[in-house]
Chains A and B, each alone.
Chain A
């Protein structure tokens, strides 16, 4: 994935969230994006995930500009998995059903959807919580359901926006381990926006942002020295 001179403005240009960003992420690479609140981390993640279009500049996936893709919904469904800070589960659906939701777009049968959802929830340690509604789960469990959902269509790129931001320390550690494990097993490309230094220490590369620009980009050792 490559970003070339990406600018994102809101409010008719009065707010500049991203100021000409250049960033290249290799396939299978885990990247942490850190920086203070309002520095443009989440906006960057939304642009990488094709949820928002840049005001100017270019985003390339597999060397192909995202803007040129006719069906961005299908691209998101097949290539990208999202994990959000506030879980964003559908409150009326059970854990298993929440995991099934993205699978509608890849044409799996009802039975296959269910079987895959059960497998995924078991893999995140929630095999015993399949029929629970989000309101009946703890914060950590909800985020694990969200992780399972993000993997539903076996994406090549996993985007996580503050995945441990709303969790207690123990639950946060579990989610971090889960993400590390996913990367180890599937070599999924990961971009994790985080405030959590523990997340940053577990990934190979840390991008530090400030006021819509990248101020440093490098291996964790470099970041620690900064």
Chain B
């Protein structure tokens, strides 16, 4: 027999209470897995978008942390773009706009011709023509949710466009979006000559990045050049989602932790006499404390494992729900598992400290006399 064996059996004395406590911790861990998974997923879809477009650096207004930064004059950066390290540049204007009955659909205006269009795979039709034809390409998910096919008229704010093609992109965020030629987007939003991102493709990305960043800082103050990971992590929308997800998950975890404390305290009070026996036959206080802490830890570990499974199931179920299908995927991997389990273990130990201390402070004589 080992202490761990003793502890394991103690958990089965009151199965229902143990199960409910484990469930309490599971909810917290599941919240971490699902919510943080989605927050990371959101960051990842934006990173994917930049990677898919073949963008090495994104130039934007330095002060703006919004996912849709303040537009600036495209001509303002002409001098900067005249640089041998830059292979190609593509300007972009994006906004959330009212499309038909949907109040907020992501609409892009992409410079044409530019490398931005290269990664789109047209399932039907073709890319929109520049000029006076007023055409729009729509992503696979947007087409299905708006019920549009080739040749249909689509109303974006107060302007009407003809659907020239339906595309699929390796970036999830683009599959739910509409893409127009840049000048038509500028006209539709009354921002002629303005863009809010400049996508750069470099000749030699590993060495070129620092050089181009330094050049931008020198020539145009108020702008910054970021790589795809930086853009996503500095995105205030993602930051808010991440913060909210952590706040909600931690709250759920703390509730679970207090559940463990409550269970362990009740368990100690119920076993006063038994703990008295252990102390009477010579167990050190530290061993009694360790036993209670181990019970608390074990509850949290089991809760953690269940929480991981429940979190994965919730995330997968939400991914297939109408609201998110094809737009967002939870990014759940070993890193997140480790974080969730570490939190669960740490809170489990914390939850057990007070009950363990109470148990270890019992006087064996008093404990044996107790009824």
Interface, chain A (partner B; CB < 8 A): 46, 49, 51-52, 71, 73-78, 80, 82, 84, 88, 90-93, 96-97, 100-102, 104-105, 110, 113-114, 149, 153
Assuming the A-B contacts A97-B1, A110-B1, are A149 and B281 also in contact, with contact meaning beta carbons closer than 8 angstroms in the complex?
yes
Interface residues in B2-37 by Cβ distance below 8 A to A read 2-3, 5-6, 9-10, 12-13
| Nearest chain B residue, comparing its CB with the CB of A82 | B280
B6 touching A105 by the CB < 8 A rule? Answer: no
Is the C-beta of B284 less than 8 angstroms from some C-beta in chain A?
yes
Is the C-beta of B285 less than 8 angstroms from some C-beta in chain A?
yes
Q: Which of A49, A88, A93, A153 contacts B6 (CB 8 A)?
A: A93
Assuming the A-B contacts A52-B365, A77-B281, A82-B281, are A88 and B273 also in contact, with contact meaning beta carbons closer than 8 angstroms in the complex?
yes
| Nearest chain A residue, comparing its CB with the CB of B365 | A52
Residues of A close to B273: CB separation below 8 A: 88
* A70 CB → nearest B CB, Å: 12
Interface residues in B174-226 by Cβ distance below 8 A to A read none
Q: Which of B10, B281, B285 contacts A101 (CB 8 A)?
A: B281
Is the C-beta of B325 less than 8 angstroms from some C-beta in chain A?
no
A92 touching B282 by the CB < 8 A rule? Answer: no
Is the C-beta of B244 less than 8 angstroms from some C-beta in chain A?
no
Residues of A close to B285: CB separation below 8 A: 73
22 CB-based A-B contacts, threshold 8 Å: A51-B363, A51-B364, A52-B364, A73-B284, A77-B283, A78-B282, A82-B281, A88-B274, A88-B277, A90-B6, A90-B274, A90-B278, A91-B274, A92-B6, A93-B1, A96-B1, A100-B1, A102-B283, A104-B283, A104-B287, A105-B284, A149-B281
* A73 CB → nearest B CB, Å: 5
Q: How far is the CA of A113 from the CA of B5 in the complex (A)?
A: 14
* A112 CB → nearest B CB, Å: 12
Task: State which size class the interface on B falls in.
Answer: 20 to 34
A102 touching B1 by the CB < 8 A rule? Answer: no
Is the C-beta of B279 less than 8 angstroms from some C-beta in chain A?
yes
Q: How far is the CA of A74 from the CA of B279 in the complex (A)?
A: 10
Assuming the A-B contacts A51-B280, A104-B3, A149-B281, are A84 and B287 also in contact, with contact meaning beta carbons closer than 8 angstroms in the complex?
no
Instruction: Encode contact with A along B357-371: 1 for CB under 8 Å, 0 otherwise.
Output: 000000111101000
A46 touching B6 by the CB < 8 A rule? Answer: no
Residues of A close to B366: CB separation below 8 A: 52
Q: How far is the CA of A73 from the CA of B364 in the complex (A)?
A: 10
B282 touching A73 by the CB < 8 A rule? Answer: yes
B9 touching A46 by the CB < 8 A rule? Answer: no
Instruction: Encode contact with A along B159-180: 1 for CB under 8 Å, 0 otherwise.
Output: 0000000000000000000000
B368 touching A114 by the CB < 8 A rule? Answer: no
B287 touching A105 by the CB < 8 A rule? Answer: yes
B6 touching A102 by the CB < 8 A rule? Answer: no
* B320 CB → nearest A CB, Å: 44
| Nearest chain A residue, comparing its CB with the CB of B282 | A77
Assuming the A-B contacts A92-B13, A100-B1, A114-B1, are A73 and B283 also in contact, with contact meaning beta carbons closer than 8 angstroms in the complex?
yes
| Nearest chain B residue, comparing its CB with the CB of A106 | B282
* A42 CB → nearest B CB, Å: 8
Assuming the A-B contacts A51-B364, A52-B363, are A90 and B282 also in contact, with contact meaning beta carbons closer than 8 angstroms in the complex?
no
Q: How far is the CA of A75 from the CA of B112 in the complex (A)?
A: 87
B281 touching A92 by the CB < 8 A rule? Answer: no
B283 touching A105 by the CB < 8 A rule? Answer: yes
| Nearest chain A residue, comparing its CB with the CB of B285 | A73
Q: How far is the CA of A93 from the CA of B365 in the complex (A)?
A: 23
Instruction: Encode contact with A along B250-284: 1 for CB under 8 Å, 0 otherwise.
Output: 00000000000000000000000110011111111
Q: Which of B1, B12, B368 contacts A51 (CB 8 A)?
A: B368
| Nearest chain A residue, comparing its CB with the CB of B281 | A102
**6 additional A-B residue pairs with CB within 8 Å, beyond A46-B368, A104-B287:** A76-B280, A76-B281, A76-B282, A84-B277, A92-B12, A105-B287
Q: How far is the CA of A78 from the CA of B284 in the complex (A)?
A: 12
A101 touching B284 by the CB < 8 A rule? Answer: no
* B280 CB → nearest A CB, Å: 6
Determine which residue in B1, B284, B366, B368 has the highest number of CB atoms from chain A within 10 A of its CB, and name it: B1
